[in-house]
Amino acid sequence: MSKRLYIALLCAFIFIALPTARAFAQDRPSGALDFGIDYHRSTGGSNLLGVHARAMAVDRVPGTLVGRFAELYASIGVGLEGEFVQYAVGAKFGVGLGTDYLVVFLATGLMTDSYQSVKKKSKDDNVAPGIGVPLLLGIWIDPMPGLYVYLMAEPSWAFLGDRKTTPFVPFNWAWELRLRGGIGVDISKVHMRIDYTFHQVAPHSYHVISLGFGFSSKAMADLEKLPLKED
């Protein structure tokens, strides 16, 4: 199956998932849609800057202990010396055990990413495009409205193609790993999130710091209540 077909399937999955996720009822949703900047630092010494859009949140099925997690994201970046172009797109959905202050969940979905070399000198550090299936285990702590903390471990299996890999390669799929942690806060009606990700990938792993801003869930709810003007 070609890479273009994989990407088309991923886009179709995201567009179907977006309205489906909004159709579910929510109880104490935590999280937000934000836009921001990313700084990538590889273990090989490369530095990249990028931008992202990310919707990430948990909620609880009303009247139950069933928690739910959803994340949709897209990012793009460039090397500070113009040697790389980075991109990532993905969608993940999961379920778990949820209370008023804590959700433990397991999620999966589809994703694609790359650190594509555009100069000969960085060719050996190239991370070719890969389509992957993540298996995310996370804990989301929501001690009070407007504040949350999360920790996530996310092994994934990426279809190789020209992508370099770690030694364990069953069925031409590469095993990779992301470890993430972050905090989100609502200040007035503005949401802010900062997180750190360690991405284990061959030939060099990456440390990524993200800072995002958006509207808080309360601000979004207020906007939905505004009356529509009629002509």
Domains of the chain: 3-225 (2.40.128)
Residues 133 and 166: beta-carbon distance below 8 Å? no
Using CA atoms, how far apart are residues 192 and 175, in angstroms rounded to an integer?
32
Question: Residue 226 has what DSSP assignment?
Answer: S
Which tokens in the block code for residue 134? 């993540």
Q: Give Cα separations from 143 to 97, 103, 146, 150 (angstroms).
A: 16, 11, 9, 11
Report residue 80 CA to chain centroid gap: 23
Using CA atoms, how far apart are residues 215 and 53, in angstroms rounded to an integer?
13
Query: What single-letter amino acid sits at 48?
Result: L
**Strand pairing report for 190-200 and 206-215:** antiparallel
Tens of pLDDT along the chain (231 residues)? 445 555 555 555 555 444 444 434 344 567 778 899 999 999 888 899 999 999 888 888 888 888 889 999 999 999 888 778 899 999 999 999 988 888 999 999 988 888 888 877 667 777 878 788 888 999 999 888 788 999 999 988 777 666 666 655 555 556 788 999 999 998 877 889 999 999 988 788 899 999 999 876 554 455 445 454 554
Using CA atoms, how far apart are residues 135 and 56, in angstroms rounded to an integer?
16
